[in-house]
Chains A and B, each alone.
Chain A
């Protein structure tokens, strides 16, 4: 049972355009959401996060939007660059009994290709 779903296995965009990566979740206990980027043969690298008390978080070219009622979040990359080509994972966590958001639940990932 996939609690975090990334329904698009791949996305291809032109350099300079906007990339929009989508993620849906089913567990209403999730209260913290993250995006990770992964290059081949490397571990995932943290990109940006958002708490459930917010609906938008921006960091340079990257913006994450959260729609709690729809249980949906998206990552916008503007403008897209060839170096952004990687697999992007959406992840979520719920406040555990220890008070730490430690157990991340990941989606299957979306392969983004930015063409020069």
Chain B
């Protein structure tokens, strides 16, 4: 069975540009999460989807960041007017259970470099 996949694996862009990062969760997983891991840090929570709706977007750093999951499966994290400080590995995870404790399965991440 396929795990969580993320594309692209690497993205290099210039300051000020717009980028989209894609996440394909494990089939049937209703919950989807985005995290950001900066160099030397652990992953930091960005946003959580339950189905199509963002149940908690409290981790998004500012309004340049936006994420969608229109059909309740694939999700796209969108970053406008990228800054050098946005450089990090962006991790996506998905889980099966709707409530209570659910193990989160992580993808390999997208390494974003903003020059």
Contact = CB atoms under 8 A, between A and B. Distances in A.
20 contacts: A4-B42, A6-B42, A43-B93, A43-B108, A44-B106, A46-B103, A49-B103, A96-B56, A98-B50, A98-B55, A100-B31, A100-B97, A103-B56, A103-B59, A104-B35, A104-B43, A104-B104, A106-B44, A108-B40, A108-B42
Interface string B20-31: 000000000001
Nearest to B58: A103
A109 B42 contact: yes
B109 A102 contact: no
B65 interface: no
Interface string A101-115: 111111111000000
Contact of A99 (B33, B93, B100, B103): B100
B2 interface: no
Interface residues of A, number: 27
Nearest to B89: A43
Contacts of B4: 43
Interface residues of B, number: 31
A62 interface: no
Contacts of B35: 104, 106
Interface of A: 4, 6, 32, 36, 41-46, 49, 51, 89, 91, 96, 98-109
Contacts of B42: 4, 6, 89, 91, 106-109
Nearest to B103: A46
Interface string B27-65: 000010101000011111100101000011001000000
Contacts of B93: 43
A92 to B, nearest CB: 11
A54 B28 CA distance: 30
Contacts of B95: 102
